[in-house]
Structure 1
Amino acid sequence: MTSPSRWLLRLALVTVLVGIGSGLSGMVVSWLLHLLEHVTYGFGEGSFLDELPTPSSELKVFALFLAGTIGGFGWWALRKWGTKVVSVEDAVTGKRMPLWSSLGNISLQIIIVGLGASIGREVAPRELAALVAQWITRKTGVTAREAKILVACGAGAGLAAVYDVPLGGAVFAVEILLAELSIATVLPAIATSAIAALVARLVTSPAPLYTVPPLELSPSLIVWSIIAGPVVGFAALGFVVLAKWAGAIRPKNWLILIVMPVIFTLVGVLSIWFPEILGNGRALGQLGFTGTAPLLLILLVVALKFISTISTIGAGAAGGTLTPSLALGAGLGAGLGGFWLLLWPGSSISAFAFVAAAAFLAGSMRAPLTALVLVVEFTGQGQAILVPALLAIAGSVMVGYMTTRRRDWAKTPRGEGVA
């Protein structure tokens, strides 16, 4: 066997191992989340929108208080005595993820999300999958570049596994983590995400995350998408800026022991009247995609979900903003689209929600392809309205790009260009 053939066989084997490891990571996270939800609220599958009105108000408030207490103590201890947690982005560049601190951070995320905290659940499986991928690449002795690609692919595959979005996980790895479109990045990304999704289906459901009726194209929707794209982009930009600000001001010392339980309990109290604000945003997203609630109520829930997620981050919690961003976009699209129908009928609330969800997610992530693919896989819909979705995504991402360019231009001495 020639040396190139031996190298290719070894790389293929390592890629398969990373895919399996990422799938197992997603499977473990999903199982633990469903177990915790079942023990706390009496269900392990289904949406907060369908299931949360059943538990008592006292149970929801107590669950959030418990989440804040456990999270506050856990992150205080972890940040005081543990090794600094290395993010997935830093792990891709070669920084080693500390085993026990990473596992502690992942466990705390699972606990607070399972108890209903208003934050995304997608960071935990990405971190666990990246940790496993990093261990595999060290043990198999691949090159630094191969390790970088495989760790990124492992993180993307972790996302693919927990939500059963194989294409979305692959595009996430290539577009966001690697920012390199080539055969060397695309092939392992596709392979690892596909393998991970298959492995995780032992405990996850292959059904789309959201139930969305068939979507149809209309002139009304196209015009609305052109107008709404930048509007949604500004909302997404505001969410990103406030989320970063909240992360920057989070308690760095023992104050987290007080701040997190208080903030979480307040969110729990608010959920008595608005249960859709709990969790990773699935309930709000489904509310937007169906559009069955009054428009003003949907917009109110969007505002409250926005505030509760930012507050959760500001309280010191670690977690994701991907699924909350999608939910905020869907709710915002349903509300704005409903009022648009008063001026120009001819489309559906679901179509407006789909377009705005993709635009909001693209604007918050600065990743148009990843956003579109994820919304398509999350809903099982979208082919019929790709044109308006792309128009809205372009308008949304352009807002963030132009804002960044303007800020960079303002910082640049006159006469010097900005690359």
Structure 2
Amino acid sequence: MPQPASRRLSPPLSFAFACLLTGVVAGIGGLILSSLLHIIQHLAYGYSTDQILGHVSFLEGATQAPWWRRLLALCVCALVAGLGWWYLWQRMRPLVGINQAVREGAPPMPTGSTLWHVLLQIVTVGLGSPLGREVAPRELGALGAGHIARRLGLASEDVALLIACGTGAGLAAVYNVPLAGALFSLEVLLGRFRWRMVIPALTTSALAAWIAAQGLGNAPQYHLHMSAGASPQLMIWAIAAGPLLGLGAYAFSRITEQARVSAPRDHRLFFYCLINFPLIGLMGIAAPSILGNGKPIVQSCIDGTFTLPVLLMVLVFKLIAVWGSLKSGAHGGLLTPGLAMGAIIGTLAGMLWNSLLPGMPMEAFVLVAAPAFLAASMRMPMTALALGLELTRVDHSWLSPMVLATAGALATAHLCRQRWSR
């Protein structure tokens, strides 16, 4: 029943209140989903079960777990993914994706189906699925924003804008990246940078990141060891490595897109998952860093702990695992897997460079290559660069080689799409 006119907020105040509430909901949602992910990881692999947020990383926990536990975790993941997504497609209301929800006049995201989809992603990534966890909080943030906007009676244009802001706020919450979250809303979902969009995007992402950090902590996602700034040698390497990263990003995006398009949604999904995830468990016995969303790979590349043979094995296994998971019908993000692939290629190129001109730390190559690869593979340069800065808290002087490598990667990937995507 409509409220009396004297009790209704004016449209500007209603929208401002909706933005604040969206940031709060996205932040709490990101905190809950991240905590749930850590609980599942600790229980599945049997490490630090007395604390949700401990000093033992997922890679350390998975490596210390006996081989049979890694395999068992992925077998459970196969059952959860196969049955869960089959039930979603066959028995629940059709999903409304974020890209569809941000269009004016789009139908609302169904609550039950969306929450089921969110939980499936978090549970499977916690059990060792190689896909990213960031889509789940984005969907949860979008769902909450849509409910808030419609309850407050906002216009359809404002509903779409708030859903985009809620999506970016969800990303900001789980990784503590307020700027990247806002840029994701503007660059990827809205495709425009207008004041009316920029202000709510920044507000919701900043608020969500701050709220989630109260429970998850304020530490960077990746820990660097460098003290000196970027060198002229790294600037030259960034220019040379850009095209290589662009070629890899184009190939990665084509492989993953085709796998997603051809993924089944009928009874075959269950049987594909029963094959794919135990296979990942077997590969994880030899290379535990491929388990999970890809963060262990990036940190290992930063630490320089991979030898060349192990790095090549991780590259092949991770690519097979991501392709197989998407092909089998599982869902998840490609943000952290993309960073992982970029880190691997950057490390390989860095090894070659140091064999000719030694002296640069391996983490410098990773820092430049990972966001450049992500920018080219997901076509979001501003967001990727912001992620590179915020995930590492790196000094501003590193931005120049990151931008150079990103420009080269973007140009090369664009030329490849023009040449081979017709």
- What's the TM-score bracket when you normalise by the shorter of the two chains? over 0.9
Distance 1:37 1:78 in 2: 24
Range with greater deviation from structure 2 (378-387 or 104-113): 378-387
1:196 to 2:208 alignment: yes
Distance 1:251 1:321 in 2: 19
Q: Report the alpha carbon displacement of residue 382 of structure 1 after superposing the two structures with TM.
A: 4.6
Counterpart selection for 1:205 from 202, 214, 217: 217
Q: Report the alpha carbon displacement of residue 69 of structure 1 after superposing the two structures with TM.
A: 0.7
2:383 counterpart letter in structure 1? T
1:14 counterpart letter in structure 2? A
Q: Secondary structure at the match of 1:177?
A: helix
Counterpart selection for 1:31 from 29, 35, 42: 35
Distance 1:298 1:240 in 2: 21
Runs of 5+ unmatched residues, structure 1: 412-419
> Which whole-Å deviations, capped at 9, do the CAs of 1:13-34 have from their partners, x for residues lacking one?
1110111111111112112111
Counterpart selection for 2:166 from 154, 159, 176: 154
Quote the residue 2:278 is aligned against.
265
Quote the residue 2:59 is aligned against.
49
Q: Secondary structure at the match of 2:96?
A: coil
2:65 counterpart letter in structure 1? P
Range with greater deviation from structure 2 (353-362 or 343-352): 343-352
> Which whole-Å deviations, capped at 9, do the CAs of 1:220-249 have from their partners, x for residues lacking one?
211111111111111111111111111122
Question: For 1:355-394, what aligned pairs fall within 5 Å after superposition?
Answer: 355-394=368-407
Q: Report the alpha carbon displacement of residue 104 of structure 1 after superposing the two structures with TM.
A: 1.1
1:70 to 2:80 alignment: yes
Normalising by structure 2, what TM-score? Answer: 0.93
Quote the residue 2:3 is aligned against.
none
Runs of 5+ unmatched residues, structure 2: 1-5
Q: Secondary structure at the match of 1:53?
A: helix
Q: Could you tell me whether the CA contact under 8 Å between 2:250 and 2:417 is conserved in 1?
A: no
Distance 2:218 2:136 in 1: 20
1:19 to 2:19 alignment: no
Q: Report the alpha carbon displacement of residue 113 of structure 1 after superposing the two structures with TM.
A: 0.6
Q: Could you tell me whether the CA contact under 8 Å between 2:250 and 2:416 is conserved in 1?
A: no
Q: Could you tell me whether the CA contact under 8 Å between 2:247 and 2:416 is conserved in 1?
A: no
Distance 2:280 2:42 in 1: 20
Q: Report the alpha carbon displacement of residue 253 of structure 1 after superposing the two structures with TM.
A: 1.4
Question: For 1:83-232, what aligned pairs fall within 5 Å after superposition?
Answer: 83-93=93-103, 94-214=106-226, 216-232=229-245
When residues 195 and 70 of structure 1 are mapped into structure 2, their CA distance, relative to the original with a 3 A threshold, is same
Normalising by structure 1, what TM-score? Answer: 0.93
Quote the residue 1:311 is aligned against.
324
Q: Report the alpha carbon displacement of residue 175 of structure 1 after superposing the two structures with TM.
A: 0.8
> Which whole-Å deviations, capped at 9, do the CAs of 1:241-291 have from their partners, x for residues lacking one?
111111122223111221102210010011011000000101000011121
Quote the residue 2:355 is aligned against.
342
Q: Report the alpha carbon displacement of residue 407 of structure 1 after superposing the two structures with TM.
A: 5.3
Distance 2:413 2:161 in 1: 27
Q: Could you tell me whether the CA contact under 8 Å between 2:93 and 2:113 is conserved in 1?
A: yes
Quote the residue 1:417 is aligned against.
none
Quote the residue 1:235 is aligned against.
248
Distance 1:311 1:92 in 2: 29
Q: Report the alpha carbon displacement of residue 123 of structure 1 after superposing the two structures with TM.
A: 0.4
Q: Could you tell me whether the CA contact under 8 Å between 1:110 and 1:124 is conserved in 2?
A: yes
Distance 2:109 2:320 in 1: 31
Q: Could you tell me whether the CA contact under 8 Å between 1:354 and 1:382 is conserved in 2?
A: no
Distance 2:238 2:309 in 1: 20
Question: For 1:321-332, what aligned pairs fall within 5 Å after superposition?
Answer: 321-332=334-345
> Which whole-Å deviations, capped at 9, do the CAs of 1:56-105 have from their partners, x for residues lacking one?
11111011010111110111111112121111111111332111111111
Distance 1:53 1:347 in 2: 29
Q: Could you tell me whether the CA contact under 8 Å between 2:273 and 2:328 is conserved in 1?
A: yes
Q: Could you tell me whether the CA contact under 8 Å between 1:299 and 1:332 is conserved in 2?
A: no
1:352 to 2:349 alignment: no
Range with greater deviation from structure 2 (47-56 or 161-170): 47-56
1:7 counterpart letter in structure 2? P
The count of residues paired between Structure 1 and Structure 2 equals 408
Q: Could you tell me whether the CA contact under 8 Å between 1:366 and 1:400 is conserved in 2?
A: no
